[in-house]
Amino acid sequence: MLVGCLLGSLQAGQAQDEVSREYQIKAAYLYNFAKFVEWPARSFTNSQAPLVIGVFGQNPFGEELLAIASKHQIDGRSIVIQPVATMADAARVHLLFFSAQYDDQVAGALAALKGTGVLTVGESDKFAAAGGMINLVREANKVRFEINALAAEQQGLKISAQLLKLARAVRREP
Amino acid sequence: MKKQHNSRVGHAQAGQTLASVSKHLPKALLHSAFLLLATAGIWRSRAESPTNAPAGSLADLSVEELMNESVTSVARRETKFEESPAAISVITQDDLRRLGITTIPDALRLVPGLDVAQIDSHEWAVSARGFDNQFANKLLVLIDGRSVYGTGFGGVVWGVQDVVMEDVDRIEVIRGPGASLWGANAVNGVINIITRSAKDTQGTLISVEGGTVEQPMITVRNGGELATNLFYRVYGKFYNRDGMVTTTGQDAPDSAIEGQGGFRLDWEPSDENKLTLQGDLYRDRDEENQTLNLATLPPPYSENYNDVNYNSGGNLLGRWTHDFSDHSSLTVQAYFDRFKQEQAGAAERADTADFDAQHRFSLGERNDITWGLGYREVVGNFHGSEFAGWNPPSAHDHLYSSFLQDEIAVVPDQLKLTLGSKFEHNDYTGFEVEPSARLAWTPTEHQTIWGAVSRAVHTPSWTDLHTYANLAVIPTAPFLTQIATLGNPHLESEVETAYELGYRIEVTKHVSFDVAGFYNNYDNLIAPTGQTSSFVFVPPPGSPYVQVDSIYENAGAGQTYGAEMSARWDVTDNWHLTANYSWLEFHLDFQTPYLQGGPENQAQLRSSLDLPRHFELNAALSFVDQYNAPYGLGQMLIPSYASVDVGLVWHATESLELGLWGQNLAQERHLEFPSYKTTLLTEIPRTVAARITWRF
């Protein structure tokens, strides 16, 4: 039922055609991150299984992510956008985005995701401090990102050197 | 790759004739991203409302491009060139890195329609759409907004134009006239070399390259944050470049040594304000291939010079950008540049001070206006020798300029008309007006048809106006004959009228195609076609002689026409192909070996392949048709050549990158361009290079 509610909010998001450019850019980043990360084999049931991008709570991307998913594939996998409300939902996605409005819950959520092989992406200092893997950062009027390489490695995720090279900072913090 | 290590041995093999000379092409190995970027910029421009790209469309951008996307619409100014209805290519940092490119001219070989020819280890002839020459005087080049076009000779001294390649953000190349914005001498092209903000070059970089050419090239750069939002970088660069080869494959003594250092400060006190201060200092020592043979009146009528040239210089530039709002911004820039060079016993010094201001704003819904004012002062000195110099030996130029441009959305999202003109005043030819009209029609989301008519001028260089150069003394009977070239202070500007037509289409998300055609008409072309002779009486013990002077004059008209094509195919996410082709026809209404066209046909195919385990395999195959080049008092035909370049890059760890490149693999050596200083020729050998890049 929660999923139903969230789907509702996702559709509400689509109805609003005004997605800020910031979230258009961030949505494109999520897609790019998925391209540059290698998940452990156990994360996919087979070679055709879709890659699932989850959005925790309310979806700030409007129709951006759905539009990207409808037009793109990654390594032959289709992309599925999944609203996430519970930790059980969260463990079933490959990439999970936390918007800053969930800062209060992020530490607990990240702790619960240990060992699941989920790539976590956020947009706040709190997310980074709590051990999130890729943090999107506003710098003047640009969007950049930082990577906690150790957090990703501990989940069996391989982040490509290309992406690490472009990161504003690469940290190795537990 | 092993085979290439033997290339030095190969050079020693005799028997290679000019006619069979090979190829060379750049260090170009591969990659197609620049086209993608160029076209992406153009497609993006269709979304007139800058904050609302079509849903999901940003996913087509690479991570690097996303990093440069502005959350607010102020980025429009920065993407403007790519949005322009003009023949534009962009070389990205990724292209430079993958291809192991170490010089700016080699980077420019990736662009269709540019003619790049290496003369020796430290000199190049780079031109766009014809008029190939070491001092190609119709191409404007800027590094971070600073013009490096030299007023002295009229052209760019490529050997001293150096940057930290790893810090280059992109190189934007516009073929065709850009005079309505950039002013005089932006006749056949404008090249903007743009380095990254200090904010984006944080940390330490150490790069060492060694091979058959660079022995070695060492670059060290360090960047950091001095205070909140105040970023710096400092760098030092050194290379010892081995000489090329002679026409018989022997080592040629044209080695070059250069040291350069510099800094950049970027301060962003607020979202609306950006300040940049940057500067460089450099000095190089170039040996010429071969002894120069200079004309003298006393027997034996020539003197041999073992020539070593020293170039040095420096610059300091400050820029302030202020955004009043999303629809209005101001850029104010000032710089000072000093350049000194010594050649064949003569020395030139040019000091340039330049001030420039540009304001861009939206007027109503449909008009986007940019206007600007500029002032430039150039002080030049030439310490001539008995062979060559200027008369008078110094110059002090004042250039006043302004421009106005209006981008009009005739039919929003479909039809855009750009009208603009530069208005300039210089000390020699007076007022110059350089207008252009450009129209872009985007009938569907994935295609653009554009056309343009422009007027551009080339103003005479100090050499055109004031030079004297003794070219030869011929012991004819009964008197000696001395042949010289003389400047002409009454020259008018060369005037170009250019007609361009272009079409771009994104056939699918993975395939795109870009073609641009042009017809240029030139009037008042400057060439040393005037002839006078006089008898010069010299009291004994000297001997009287006949002086024959070729005088620069506005000799007549000429036409060029041609086309450039570029296609990109992303075969898979990891494999990209790019194909370029250019065609050029050149015609003069008068006879002179001094002005030449360029290769009639050029083609290039590049491939970039990302392999598992962080390897990248890059390759390029290039063909350059035969072309004529000025040579001594006449001209020579440079044979066509083909080249194969291959490179392997390995990202060993997050901070360590290793690269191995083989260049010009198809032939042992080949000729690209003769020197204006000597009739001896230098050829470009097959080379290998290895580089280690460490970032921390």
**CA-based torsion, B5, B94, B134, B376: positive or negative:** negative
Please say if the pLDDT value at position B217 is more than 90: yes
Assigned token pair, B408:
């009009």
Nearest CA in chain A to B271: A140
Among the partner residues B56, B61, B67, nearest to A64 by beta-carbon distance: B56
Inter-chain CB proximity B69 and A143 less than 8 Å: yes
- How many residues are listed for chain A in this entry? 174
Assigned token pair, B178:
């850009």
B459-503 tens-digit pLDDT: 999 989 998 888 777 777 777 888 888 999 999 999 999 999 999
CA distance B604 to chain A (A): 27
From chain A residues 16-45, the ones with a CB under 8 A of any chain B CB are 18-22, 24-25, 27-29, 31-32, 35-36
* Secondary structure (3-state) at B304: strand
Q: CB of B508 within 8 Å of any CB in chain A?
A: no
pLDDT band at B54 (very low <50, low <70, confident <90, very high): low
Among the partner residues A32, A72, A170, nearest to B63 by beta-carbon distance: A32
The more confident residue out of B660 and B383 is B660
- Please state which of the ranges A32-36, B384-388, B505-509, B511-515 shows the lowest mean pLDDT: B384-388
Q: CB of A163 within 8 Å of any CB in chain B?
A: yes
First to last CA, chain B: 30
Please say if the pLDDT value at position B664 is more than 80: yes
Chains A, B: CB pairs < 8 Å: 95
Angle (CA) B349-B353-B354 rounded to 5° is: 135
From chain A residues 94-123, the ones with a CB under 8 A of any chain B CB are none
What average pLDDT does the structure give for chain A?
83
Nearest CA in chain A to B69: A142
The more confident residue out of B653 and B606 is B606
Please say if the pLDDT value at position A152 is more than 50: yes
Give all strands (DSSP E) within B151-198, no chain letters.
168-175, 189-195
* % of residues, chain B, pLDDT over 70: 88
pLDDT for the residue numbered B166: 93
What average pLDDT does the structure give for chain B?
85
Inter-chain CB proximity A27 and B58 less than 8 Å: yes
Q: Identify from A14, A21, A121 which residue to disrupt to test chain B contact, counting B C-beta atoms within 10 A and taking the largest count.
A: A21
Asked if the peptide bond before residue B544 counts as cis, ω within 30 degrees of 0, the response is no
Please say if the pLDDT value at position A12 is more than 70: no
Q: What residues of chain A lie within 8 A of the CB of B61, using their CB? A: 28
For B201, which DSSP code?
A: S
Q: Which of B235, B171, B162, B172 lies closest to B201 in space, CA to CA? A: B235
CB A151 within 8 A of CB A129: no
Q: CB of B507 within 8 Å of any CB in chain A?
A: no
Inter-chain CB proximity A70 and B509 less than 8 Å: no
pLDDT for the residue numbered B305: 66
CA distance B271 to chain A (A): 5
pLDDT for the residue numbered A171: 84
pLDDT band at B506 (very low <50, low <70, confident <90, very high): confident
Q: CB of B291 within 8 Å of any CB in chain A?
A: no
Please say if the pLDDT value at position B584 is more than 80: yes
CA distance B574 to chain A (A): 10
From chain B residues 31-70, the ones with a CB under 8 A of any chain A CB are 50-59, 61-64, 66-70
Assigned token pair, B130:
């014809």
* Secondary structure (3-state) at B27: coil
CA distance B410 to chain A (A): 25
Inter-chain CB proximity B69 and A27 less than 8 Å: no
pLDDT for the residue numbered B50: 35
* Secondary structure (3-state) at B508: strand
pLDDT for the residue numbered B19: 28
CB B274 within 8 A of CB B321: yes
CA distance A159 to chain B (A): 10
CA distance A22 to chain B (A): 5
Q: What residues of chain A lie within 8 A of the CB of B653, using their CB? A: 161
Please say if the pLDDT value at position B449 is more than 50: yes
pTM of the complete model: 0.75
A92-135 tens-digit pLDDT: 899 999 998 888 888 888 988 888 889 999 999 889 989 999 99
Q: CB of B199 within 8 Å of any CB in chain A?
A: yes
Q: How far apart are CA B353 and CA B316, in angstroms?
A: 10
Q: CB of B230 within 8 Å of any CB in chain A?
A: no
Q: CB of B86 within 8 Å of any CB in chain A?
A: no
B180-189 tens-digit pLDDT: 888 889 999 9
CA distance B45 to chain A (A): 15
DSSP assignment of A122-169 equals E-SHHHHHTT-SEEEEEETTEEEEEEEHHHHHHTT-EE-HHHHHHSSE
DSSP-assigned beta bridge partners for residue B291: B306
- Cα–Cα distance list, B477 to B295, B511, B544 (Å): 17, 68, 11
CA distance B651 to chain A (A): 7
pLDDT for the residue numbered B285: 92
pLDDT band at B290 (very low <50, low <70, confident <90, very high): low
CB A84 within 8 A of CB A63: no
A49-75 average pLDDT score? 89
Among the partner residues A67, A164, A166, nearest to B64 by beta-carbon distance: A166
Looking at residue B598, its amino acid is G
- State the number of CA atoms in the 13 A half-sphere of B403 facing the CB: 25
Please say if the pLDDT value at position B17 is more than 80: no
pLDDT band at B39 (very low <50, low <70, confident <90, very high): very low
Among the partner residues B58, B68, B573, nearest to A28 by beta-carbon distance: B58
Q: How far apart are CA B549 and CA B469, in angstroms?
A: 9
Q: How far apart are CA A21 and CA B74, in angstroms?
A: 12
Nearest CA in chain B to A68: B56
Q: Which span out of A134-143, B41-50, B146-155, B218-227 was modeled with the highest average pLDDT?
A: B218-227
**CA-based torsion, B490, B491, B493, B495: positive or negative:** positive
DSSP-assigned beta bridge partners for residue B273: B270, B322
Nearest CA in chain B to A73: B573
CB B355 within 8 A of CB B375: yes
For A118, which DSSP code?
A: P
CA distance A106 to chain B (A): 25
Q: What residues of chain B lie within 8 A of the CB of A74, using their CB? A: 573
CB B378 within 8 A of CB B352: yes
pLDDT for the residue numbered B84: 63
Q: How far apart are CA B420 and CA B410, in angstroms?
A: 15
pLDDT band at B117 (very low <50, low <70, confident <90, very high): very high
- Cα–Cα distance list, B240 to B311, B322, B345, B508, B689 (Å): 15, 42, 23, 46, 13
* Secondary structure (3-state) at B64: helix
Please say if the pLDDT value at position B518 is more than 80: yes
Q: Identify from A24, A59, A134 which residue to disrupt to test chain B contact, counting B C-beta atoms within 10 A and taking the largest count.
A: A24
pLDDT for the residue numbered B472: 77
Please say if the pLDDT value at position B41 is more than 70: no
Inter-chain CB proximity A35 and B573 less than 8 Å: yes
The more confident residue out of B99 and B303 is B99
Q: CB of A158 within 8 Å of any CB in chain B?
A: no
Among the partner residues B53, B55, B653, nearest to A63 by beta-carbon distance: B55
CA distance B192 to chain A (A): 22
Please say if the pLDDT value at position B333 is more than 90: yes
B345-380 tens-digit pLDDT: 788 899 999 999 999 998 888 898 999 999 999 999
The more confident residue out of A95 and A165 is A95
- How many residues are listed for chain B in this entry? 696
CB B27 within 8 A of CB B102: yes
pLDDT for the residue numbered B76: 34
pLDDT for the residue numbered B23: 32
Please say if the pLDDT value at position A15 is more than 80: no
pLDDT for the residue numbered B293: 64
Assigned token pair, B151:
């007023």
B633-662 average pLDDT score? 92
The more confident residue out of A53 and B14 is A53
Angle (CA) B189-B193-B194 rounded to 5° is: 135
